[in-house]
Amino acid sequence: MSVLSGAGKQGLVTGGTNNFFDVEDGQGNVLRCSIKGKILQSSSGFYNPLAPGDFVEFVPDGKNSGGVIVSLVPRKNKFVRWNVKGNMPQILAANIDMVVAVTTPGEPPFRPRFIDRVLIQAAVEGVEPLVVVNKCDREADCDVHERVSDWMRIGYRVLFVSALTGEGIPMLKEALAGKTSAFVGQSGVGKSSLLNRLWDGAGQKTAALSSKYGRGVHTTTRGCFFKVDTGDFKASLIDTPGIRRFVLSNVTAADLILYFPEMKQLAGKCLYGMSCSHTKEPGCKVLEAVYAGVIAEDRFESWNRIMAEIGSGRFE
């Protein structure tokens, strides 16, 4: 971290909420900092002004216990989702190299369309994606294997791991090494448990699933940034809050097809060109590919649902 003009310094946001954030000063000290004027001009238009992974300029209060954030260092990138309640994009992590989309074969139920959306948002932001199937020590039905195999077929990297038994953890460490990665997934998939397995210094809370609904309990209520260095494993990891529903941000109906690798190559090749809706038109290359099994029916359904969501403007 470099010292700025006057008493200002540059620091890394490791967590926080509202107008107070934890900032690491580059020397191992974490200061609780407020935002000058309660808002950063460069973060206007977002649900939250800062996220784990952001770099900020701040002025310490001189007591090594706090300070004031005065500006945001321009981001390399950001990973967002649309916050329906706030009706604006919410930044989950900033300045990352990879998004780790975590799912399970069951408990909570396998939700491939949730992962599809995370993969799309990663493509929008130009961030490398990695799909991690946690709890692989548990039995999975054929639908799970079929869907996961299709992700691999169309070019996504998938790792099978178990935070409980340690299976696959060495391969996950290899994928994460030297990178800043954000873990994203629905509540209960075991993001925090994976972090605890990767590095016992994470100390993330974990909780059992809700027995009534088979859903995860929100144990991570705000994003947290961890610098991991165990000698043989060095990485920066961001644990994001569990999400029940992932709504895309900054994706138009016209561009959506470009974020489906198996459909992108067919864009514009239909009889009606780019004006084809891929629903009923004769000469539609996308529909032909679905009928031929080149595009998986469930992936096509995922595309259809997102298109309907974008078209209606309703995200409930």
Q: Tens of pLDDT along 180-231?
A: 999 999 999 999 999 999 987 555 543 332 223 233 333 444 799 999 999 9
CA distance 21 to 14: 8
> Over 90: is that where the pLDDT of 67 sits?
yes
Range 217-246 average pLDDT? 84
So what's the pLDDT on residue 295? 97
Percentage of the chain lying above the pLDDT 90 cut:
74
* Other beta carbons within 10 Å of 195: 24
Query: Which H or E element spans position 66?
Result: strand 66-72
Task: Give the burial class of 206: count Cβ atoms within 10 A of its Cβ; 0-12 exposed, 13-18 middle, 19 or more buried.
Answer: middle
So what's the pLDDT on residue 5? 43
What average pLDDT is seen over the chain? 88
So what's the pLDDT on residue 107? 85
Q: Tens of pLDDT along 122-134?
A: 999 999 999 999 9
What's phi and psi for 58, nearest 5 deg?
-140, 160
Q: How many residues does the chain have?
A: 316
Instruction: Give the predicted TM-score (pTM) of the model.
Output: 0.88
So what's the pLDDT on residue 19? 83
Range 49-78 average pLDDT? 91
> Over 80: is that where the pLDDT of 265 sits?
yes
Range 163-172 average pLDDT? 96
So what's the pLDDT on residue 62? 76
So what's the pLDDT on residue 45? 86
CA distance 240 to 221: 8
So what's the pLDDT on residue 18? 77
| Collapsed DSSP state (helix, strand, coil) of residue 279 | coil
Range 265-269 average pLDDT? 95
CA distance 145 to 39: 46
So what's the pLDDT on residue 7? 55
Question: Which two three-digit tokens encode residue 255?
Answer: 């561009």
Is 272:281 a contact under the CB 8 Å cutoff? yes
So what's the pLDDT on residue 314? 52
Q: Tens of pLDDT along 297-307?
A: 999 999 999 99
Cis check: omega of the bond before 112, within 30 degrees of 0: no
Is 278:270 a contact under the CB 8 Å cutoff? yes
Q: Tens of pLDDT along 15-29?
A: 998 789 999 998 889
What's phi and psi for 222, nearest 5 deg?
-150, 155
Q: Report the DSSP pairing between strands 180-184 and 234-239.
A: parallel
Range 157-164 average pLDDT? 97
Range 240-264 average pLDDT? 94
